[in-house]
Chains A and B, each alone.
Chain A
Amino acid sequence: MLYREAGQFSSRYADDRRVFRLRQDRLGLALLLVFAFAVVPWLGNDYWFGAILIPFLVLSLAGLGLNLLTGYAGQLSLGSAAFMAVGAFAAYNFELRVPGLPLPASLLLGGLVAALVALLFGLPSLRIKGFYLIVSTLAAQFFVPWALTRFGWFSNYDASGVISAPKLEIFGIDFGTPAGRYLLTLGVVTALFWLGHNLVRSELGRNWMAVRDMDTAAAVIGIPLLKTKLLAFAISGFFLGVAGSLWAFAYLGTVEPHGFDLNRSFQVLFIVIIGGLGSILGNFLGAAFMVLFPLLLSNLAGLLPGGLIDAGQLENLQKIVFGALIVVFLIKEPEGLARLWQRLRERARIWPLRH
């Protein structure tokens, strides 16, 4: 009733194959984009941009990067943060050493370098699977920060090894304000999600899913495992690399190698697991959960009268509540928040009837 498909006929094959076949979906997406691009910059304040929206968008993108690899191609990885670091440092060095390079080009090149590194660390995936593959990607997680710390060239011999973001300027327009940084992030993230969504519906995406479900069977029907798996690593690395440079440039403004430690990899993995493996929307839901819930709890805790609970204990209580929430969500919906959303849509379709 609320979500009626009735009356929407496809008269051409192209109509039937489009990404958003339902009018409601197309309209909703368009409205959402208009809201995000035109209304939010006008409504939001520094806190919303700098502390909530930008990290949310960047982590969604990182989630998408890992989801392509783990959710679609079935290759487990714990090296997400390392590839983000590669992207951030590569983009920084391109910006620094190639004068006059426009910012989008540095982001792109940073992503490509991350893709190369990811490809390299993806090589073992041809021989090993599952938990063993995790261990080999874990090597990236230790190797990359070590290399970035060990060789001063990467951080332009900065005394403390911290890189500081270049000026965010594209064709003379300054994106350095909080709203500007938000728009820059939103633009990049929207473009890459568009790419990602189309990618998983392409032949490559279908190959990934075949490999994920059973790689022997996939090989038997003629899917080249080498190419498919390595492309999954490279493309995932590209997305993560761009996310890493956005994290460094648009969000924090500075980055040190240890900002991309194992905890960040776990964070991205949790986003994917909680949001939903093999789902595009799930990345947003997972990132929202991971970014917004702790902030919400912490802000709620801030409203409590001071001195009621010891400040240190209050902090630990929030962690307990957040952990409990994760457990509850996963028990209620093991397939992630994206599945929850899907069920809601099915409900809405037949409402007010129940079956």
Chain B
Amino acid sequence: MFERSFASRLALALSLGGAAFAAQAGGEQYFPLQSYRVGPYAAGGTGFFGGFIDYLRYVNANGGVNGVKLTWSECETEYVVEKGVECYERLKGGLNGAPAAATNPLSVGIAYATLDRSTADRLPLITINHGRTDSTDGSVFPYAFPLQLNPYSEVSAIVNYIGQQAGGLDRLKGLKIVTLYHGSPYGKETNEVLKTLAEKYGFALTLLEVPHPGNEQQSQWLNIRREKPDWVILRGWGVMNPVALKTAQKVGFPANRIIGNIWSNSEEDAAPAGAAAKGFIAITTHPSGSDFPVLQGIRQEVVDKGQGDLADPKRFGTVYYNLGVVNGILNVEALRIAQEKFGKQPLSGEQVRWGLENLELDDARLAALGAKGLVQPLKLSCSDHEGGGAVRFQQWDGEKWTLISDWVQADRALLRPIIEASSRKYAAEKGIAPRDCAKEA
């Protein structure tokens, strides 16, 4: 007995994991942050994790979650898969005795690589607004949560919006749509479902890939000019977005016919393109701006006290920052719901997973959080790990985003069989027996 614990302690002490000091902190819940602040996607990483950390600080300043304080530590991934895996392994064990609640890598590649590990370690993997689409089916992917909006819902909502603009979905017939996508797992995720939608609605679809990181797009845009499409869906990420807008201007394609997807929708995507971005349309699950009571609260209790995480305070209330705040709200609310069942104490990943599956945010709760209009009403379940599926459209006026549409809902009933077929295929490949969700409820 002694030898065993000595050995494991030796292993711990040897581990570079930083968790060497087994001091019991008690009453703390830990968030392992696989963040990225350098590299080509730093703008997204600093904004998102800035908002996330500021929200956690804000919760702590108000007494934590039912008295349980939140703690976190960061590990730089640079958006590189193996670094993300290393960070996952380093941080998953918790910090100073505080158990990890969930991982939020904000990278599709890292999410894919840690998917199996998350299931084995019973630690929820949250991929807000992105991730592997078929992980929406919680019966096969019990620990993955593509919250709010999975990639299929995203394109479905865009196609629905284009239909609205054309005067009805039946008018989509004969339209030409080009999708310009980032050459990564994230970028390719929606190609198949776009083809399905093109077949269903009868629009002509052209898929063009932009190799990572995307700072050279001349040939793609010359192709687009030749095609003369009615709309271009920009499925970009990081530096690819402003380059796309500038190149579009160079070849004479109007910006107000380009629809940016959920990762082409921030100030950092539009502003560097200068005048070329004026009129550019993008979808969003959450408006930018700092008028929401929760953001005012963060400003008063965190930022004004000099504890804000952003290096550039001007980015407060921007799209990425607000997404971080939204992500913080969803994580913390899942904790709160799980605490009601499991007691007001630090929870294990498995318990947090229960909280996520039973996450329900209605307008009343959102108003109480001061996030009405910032977060869409959500209801998750064992079989539905997405919960929302609605977006709004915004347009860049040269300086800021203005909302130009109400909530546009994805056709989730249409997508569900595709998602289930894909998750069943995955389950068969991996030898997973899907859970029976009827019994879970």
Kindly state whether residue A306 has any CB partner on chain B within 8 Å: yes
- Of A67-75, A127-135, A158-166, A230-238, the segment with at least 4 beta carbons within 8 Å of chain B is A158-166
A93 to chain B, nearest CB (A): 13
- CB-based contact B38/A46 at 8 Å: no
Distance between Cα atoms of A338 and B50 in the complex (Å): 44
Which of B16, B116, B183, B188 counts the most chain A CB atoms within 10 A? B16
Distance between Cα atoms of A43 and B109 in the complex (Å): 30
B14: which A residues are within 8 A, CB to CB? 43, 48
- CB-based contact A43/B11 at 8 Å: yes
Kindly state whether residue B189 has any CB partner on chain A within 8 Å: yes
- CB-based contact A162/B85 at 8 Å: no
How many residue pairs link A and B with beta carbons under 8 A? The number is 121
Question: When the two chains form the complex, which single residue of B76, B108, B192, B426 contacts A311, counting CB atoms closer than 8 Å?
Answer: B76
Distance between Cα atoms of A256 and B188 in the complex (Å): 11
A272 to chain B, nearest CB (A): 19
A-B contact pairs, 12 of them (CB 8 A): A43-B11, A44-B11, A47-B17, A159-B193, A164-B116, A167-B431, A251-B82, A254-B112, A295-B16, A299-B18, A303-B18, A316-B38
Q: Count of B residues near A, CB < 8 Å?
A: 56
Distance between Cα atoms of A303 and B17 in the complex (Å): 10
- CB-based contact A299/B89 at 8 Å: no
Question: When the two chains form the complex, which single residue of B35, B38, B82, B132 contacts A160, counting CB atoms closer than 8 Å?
Answer: B132
Distance between Cα atoms of A251 and B89 in the complex (Å): 12
Question: When the two chains form the complex, which single residue of B15, B37, B212 contacts A48, counting CB atoms closer than 8 Å?
Answer: B15
Distance between Cα atoms of A299 and B81 in the complex (Å): 18
Kindly state whether residue B184 has any CB partner on chain A within 8 Å: yes
Distance between Cα atoms of A43 and B12 in the complex (Å): 9
Question: When the two chains form the complex, which single residue of A159, A256, A258, A311 contacts B37, counting CB atoms closer than 8 Å?
Answer: A311
Distance between Cα atoms of A50 and B114 in the complex (Å): 11
A40 to chain B, nearest CB (A): 10
Contacting residues of chain B (185-237) with chain A, CB-CB under 8 angstroms: 185-186, 188-193, 209, 212
- CB-based contact B7/A159 at 8 Å: no
Kindly state whether residue A228 has any CB partner on chain B within 8 Å: no
Distance between Cα atoms of A310 and B76 in the complex (Å): 12
- CB-based contact B46/A312 at 8 Å: yes
Kindly state whether residue A51 has any CB partner on chain B within 8 Å: yes
Question: When the two chains form the complex, which single residue of A160, A161, A252, A296 contacts B81, counting CB atoms closer than 8 Å?
Answer: A252
Distance between Cα atoms of A74 and B269 in the complex (Å): 46
Question: With A252-B113, A253-B113 as given contacts, are A161 and B86 in contact (CB-CB < 8 Å)?
Answer: no
Distance between Cα atoms of A303 and B75 in the complex (Å): 11
Q: Count of A residues near B, CB < 8 Å?
A: 40
- CB-based contact A45/B16 at 8 Å: no
Distance between Cα atoms of A176 and B132 in the complex (Å): 22
Distance between Cα atoms of A159 and B115 in the complex (Å): 16
Kindly state whether residue B117 has any CB partner on chain A within 8 Å: yes
A145-184 interface code vs B (CB 8 A; 1 in, 0 out): 0000100000000011110111100000000000000000
- CB-based contact A306/B184 at 8 Å: no
A162: which B residues are within 8 A, CB to CB? 109, 112, 185
Question: With A47-B90, A162-B185, A258-B183 as given contacts, are A299 and B85 in contact (CB-CB < 8 Å)?
Answer: no
Kindly state whether residue B408 has any CB partner on chain A within 8 Å: no
Closest to A256 in B: B185
Which of A159, A165, A166, A306 counts the most chain B CB atoms within 10 A? A159
Question: When the two chains form the complex, which single residue of B11, B75, B82, B189 contacts A252, counting CB atoms closer than 8 Å?
Answer: B82
B192: which A residues are within 8 A, CB to CB? 159
Closest to B53 in A: A311
Closest to A253 in B: B116
Question: When the two chains form the complex, which single residue of A161, A312, A316 contacts B185, counting CB atoms closer than 8 Å?
Answer: A161
B102-146 interface code vs A (CB 8 A; 1 in, 0 out): 000000110011011100010000000000110000000000000
- CB-based contact B109/A315 at 8 Å: no
Which of B89, B133, B209 counts the most chain A CB atoms within 10 A? B89
Closest to B18 in A: A302
Closest to A247 in B: B82
A162 to chain B, nearest CB (A): 5
- CB-based contact B42/A312 at 8 Å: yes
A131 to chain B, nearest CB (A): 25
Distance between Cα atoms of A220 and B86 in the complex (Å): 51
Closest to A177 in B: B120
- CB-based contact B81/A51 at 8 Å: no
Contacting residues of chain B (390-439) with chain A, CB-CB under 8 angstroms: 422, 426, 429-431
Contacting residues of chain B (71-86) with chain A, CB-CB under 8 angstroms: 73-76, 78, 81-82, 85-86
Kindly state whether residue B369 has any CB partner on chain A within 8 Å: no
Distance between Cα atoms of A50 and B83 in the complex (Å): 11
Kindly state whether residue B364 has any CB partner on chain A within 8 Å: no
Distance between Cα atoms of A327 and B409 in the complex (Å): 56
A279-318 interface code vs B (CB 8 A; 1 in, 0 out): 0000000000000000110110011001000111001100
A311: which B residues are within 8 A, CB to CB? 35, 37, 74, 76
Kindly state whether residue B10 has any CB partner on chain A within 8 Å: yes
Contacting residues of chain B (319-378) with chain A, CB-CB under 8 angstroms: none
Distance between Cα atoms of A312 and B311 in the complex (Å): 9
A310: which B residues are within 8 A, CB to CB? 311
